[in-house]
Structure 1
Amino acid sequence: MRKRKPNRLKGYDYSKNNLYFITNCVKNNLCCLGRVVCVGTGRDLSVRDSENHSENHSENHSENHSENHSENHSENHSENHSENHSENHSENHSENHSENHFENHFENHDFEKFMFIMELNQYGSIVKERIEWLERQYSYVKIHNYQVMPNHFHFILEINNQNANGEKIKSVSSLMGALKTTSSKLIHEAVFQDFEWHRSFHDNIIRDEKSYINIFNYISNNPKNWWKDKFYSKD
């Protein structure tokens, strides 16, 4: 049997003052915490080409429309286009364009011009609240940055025993145990009985300012880079 690689640094005291980069995944990387949406034009990914469509449509449509519509569409366009285009375009564009066009944008790297955020569902909102709860519950804990994603979350956690107020300092594993246990319980109560976290979690001890800045930015940019993420799933 293949020996499981330990996730914690052997011999290290994970209750000592430090900054820790934490990642935890839903079991089987199931996307159940929400979705990443485009907010570049105030619309979500149901209109994924919000920027290019307005540009290309205005350019191509103005050219083709002036040529073809003046000849062929002058009589039919006002009737058929208004009826069929309004019905079919809204249906087909939202269905086909949302599925196919953004993936093409991703392949062509056009996504760089968009802004993305994570739109949490009720389960993702529970996870978000539990991450913030850690800081409220334990006086020695500070969350510097965090991001809940469709099937995982990241955060930077600081332990500072000077703020303990006489409390016993819990290790990172104990803190994560509290977060995972309470969030699972609340998600189960929200009628998602099959929800489970991955058995363990990943940590990285942040040892210098450069690492801190890189990790902080990585977390902040996670929604934008979702389609390049190793945890990415179309589900």
Structure 2
Amino acid sequence: MKWPDRKLNRLNGFDYSRDALYFVTSCVLDKACVFGEVVNEAMQLNKFGCIAEQQWHRLAELYPYVVLHAFVVMPNHVHGIIEIDRELVGTGRDLSARRLNDGAGTVNTVIAGSLPAQKIKSLSQLVGAYKTTTSKLVRSAGLAEFAWQRSFHDHIIRSEKAYNQIRDYILSNPEKWPDDVFYQQV
């Protein structure tokens, strides 16, 4: 039996573990609104939404080459900008400078201690780690049937103009929720 051809989700031939900025979107299965609700143009996270938010920030703690930029948890999906920056990984003897972005453009540098050499995960592996740990924690918190939609959407950010437009889109997502394509399909 021949399986139907699947649309490729990633850019053919692109190394998704290389230094770059990536815009990612991941949806809850069937676009179920499980992370909270938008009230007065602001996202009000419930306990499951808080888990989704905490696990996103955990990526930067677990992987020293990850810099997180703008991020939002919506009722049934998440949007974020994730940066892979190999210069942040030490040799195991060096001190590594970590940059943390608050989502509004402010970058702070934090000096971390000695880090062991680390293999750089691809974007798919990072998002997979996020979705796996989030799923386990949401299920154990009481939403036994929770699941993410298969795969995720990504866009490689190639210019400052694109970065600014995407960051603004992410940060303004809650106020635009009634017009959001994800809301319309609920």
Q: Report the TM-score range of the alignment, normalised by the length of the smaller protein.
A: 0.7 to 0.9
Structure 1: distance between partners of 2:4 and 2:80:
30
- Quickly say closer, same or farther: Cα 1:234–1:35, change in 2 above 3 A: farther
Residue of structure 2 in register with 1:125 after alignment: 50
Determine if contact 1:33/1:150 at 8 Å carries over to the other structure. yes
Q: Higher relative contact order at CA 8 Å, sep ≥6: structure 1 or structure 2? A: 1
Greater per-residue strand proportion: 2
Task: Measure, in 1, the Cα distance between the counterparts of 2:54 and 2:126.
Answer: 15
Distance 1:158 1:195 in 2: 27
Identity %: 47
Of residues 126, 129, 140, the one that matches 1:175 is 126
Per-residue deviation, 1:4: 2.1
Contact kept, 8 Å, 2:71 with 2:171, in 1: the verdict is yes
Gap runs ≥5 in structure 2? 91-116
1:1-150 equivalences under 5 Å are 3-38=5-40, 116-150=41-75
Q: Quick one: distance in 2 between partners of 1:2 and 1:31?
A: 30
Aligned residues: 158
Is the 1:31–1:233 contact (alpha carbons within 8 Å) kept by the matching residues of 2?
no
Is the contact between residue 142 and residue 159 of structure 1 (CA under 8 Å) also seen in structure 2?
yes
Q: Residue 117 of structure 1: CA displacement?
A: 1.1
CA distance 1:141–1:192, change in 2 (3 Å): same
Structure 1 residue 205: deviation in Å?
0.1
Contact 1:22 1:156 (C-alpha < 8 Å) held by counterparts? yes
Which residue is equivalent to 2:138? 187
CA contact (8 A) 2:31 2:185 kept: no
Provide the residue aligned with 1:51 in structure 2: none
Whose radius of gyration is greater, 1 or 2?
1
Q: Specify the SS of the correspondent of 1:35.
A: strand
Distance 1:234 1:12, change over 3 A: closer
Unaligned runs of 5+ in 1: 39-115
Higher helix share: 1
| Aligned counterparts of 1:164 and 1:231: Cα–Cα separation in 2 | 36
CA distance in 1: counterparts of 2:154 and 2:60, whole angstroms? 18
**How far is 1:213 from its partner?**
0.4
2:80 aligned to 155, 180, 187, which one? Answer: 155
Q: Which amino acid is 2:88 matched to? A: N
Which TM-score applies when normalising by structure 2? 0.82
Contact 1:21 1:156 in 2 (8 A): yes
- Residue 181 of structure 1 aligns with an amino acid whose one-letter code is T
Does 2:144 match 1:229?
Answer: no
AA matched with 2:10:
R
